[in-house]
Amino acid sequence: MHNSIFLPFIKVDCGGMEIKTITGTQLAFGFEYETMKGLFETKKEKVKPEIFATLAFITSIVGVGISLAKLKKSELFKGILSLLLIIFLIALKTEIDEESSKQGMQGLIEYQWPFWTIIVLSGINIILSIIPITKIEKEQIQQEVQNKYKEQ
């Protein structure tokens, strides 16, 4: 579905100075970063994986697999996966915003263009996946009507 998950998702700023940029895969699988401990020492901090980022990553991989497999109802599956992807990313944003607010970091986190691009493209994908489904349903209805006229 989207490979933007490998690009920067979040930027953490403090006073206009960039502190850290975090990719979607880092959010999905966790990562380490160094912080200053005293004047000359650094300390490694671990950030655990975010469950919604992990689910979004898995959904993207499954979507790519379905796209490559060319299944009969792949449009329906892609639409459902796109909807799930949007839900997971909004849940991820909500979780990060709530956590940053608790830690007094409200307003320091900026969501980067790859994050928003995935949401927008997934929305477009939902719309595009509905069009073939409605076209197929319309053709089925027309076929049924024609069959009924032939029977009479």
Q: Determine the Cα–Cα distance for residues 148 and 152; give it in Å rounded to an integer.
A: 6
Length of the chain: 152
- pTM of the full predicted structure? 0.77
Domain count, the chain: 1
- Local confidence pLDDT in tens for the 152 residues of the chain: 455 667 788 888 877 788 888 888 999 999 988 877 777 788 888 989 999 999 999 999 998 888 888 777 777 888 899 999 999 999 999 999 998 888 887 778 889 998 999 999 999 989 888 776 666 666 777 777 777 666 66
Task: Give the Cβ contact number of residue 75 at 10 Å.
Answer: 19
Which residue segment(s) compose the domain that 76 sits in? 4-151
